[in-house]
A = this chain, B = another copy of it.
Amino acid sequence: MRTHPGSVVALSGGVGGAKLALGLHRILDTGKLTVICNTGDDFRHLGLHICPDIDTILYTLSGLADPDRGWGRHGETWNFMEALKDLGGETWFRIGDRDLAIHTERTQRLEHGESLSAVTDHFRQRLGISTRIVPMSDDPVRTQLLSEAGWLDFQDYFVRQRCNPAVREIAFAGAEKSGPAPAAISALNDPQLQAVVICPSNPLISIEPILAVPGIREALKGCSAPLIGVSPIIGGRAVRGPADKLMRELGFDSSATAVAQRYSDLIDAWVVDKVDADTLVPSNIKKVITSTMMVSMEDRERLARDVLDATQQMSSKQPSTTKTADVSA
Contact = CB atoms under 8 A, between A and B. Distances in A.
B107 A83 contact: no
Given A104-B89, A108-B46, A98 B126 contact: no
- Chief secondary structure at chain A's binding surface: helix
A98 B83 contact: yes
A97 interface: yes
A84 B104 contact: yes
A100 interface: yes
Contact of A80 (B47, B98, B108, B123): B98
Given A47-B47, A108-B46, A101 B88 contact: no
Given A77-B77, A77-B79, A89-B108, A84 B97 contact: no
A98 B123 contact: no
A105 B122 CA distance: 28
A68 interface: no
As for how many copies of this chain the complex holds, the number is: 2
A129 to B, nearest CB: 12
A82 interface: yes
B100 A83 contact: yes
Interface string A74-110: 0011011111101111000000111111101101100
A88 B47 contact: no
B98 A79 contact: yes
B77 A97 contact: yes
Contacts of A122: 87-88
A250 interface: no
Interface string A118-158: 00001100110000000000000000000000000000000
Contacts of A100: 80, 83, 97, 100
Interface residues of A, number: 32
A48 B46 CA distance: 10
Nearest to A78: B97
A83 B102 contact: yes
A111 interface: yes
B111 A89 contact: no
A96 B99 CA distance: 14
Nearest to A91: B101
Nearest to A107: B47
A94 B198 CA distance: 42
Nearest to A119: B87
Contact of A108 (B47, B82, B126): B47
Contacts of A86: 101, 126-127
Given A79-B97, A97-B97, 15 more contacts: A46-B104, A47-B107, A47-B111, A79-B79, A79-B98, A82-B98, A83-B99, A83-B100, A83-B101, A84-B104, A86-B127, A87-B122, A88-B105, A88-B126, A89-B108
14 contacts: A47-B104, A77-B79, A79-B97, A80-B98, A80-B101, A81-B101, A83-B101, A83-B102, A84-B101, A86-B101, A86-B126, A87-B122, A88-B126, A97-B100
Interface of A: 46-48, 73, 76-77, 79-84, 86-89, 96-102, 104-105, 107-108, 111, 122-123, 126-127
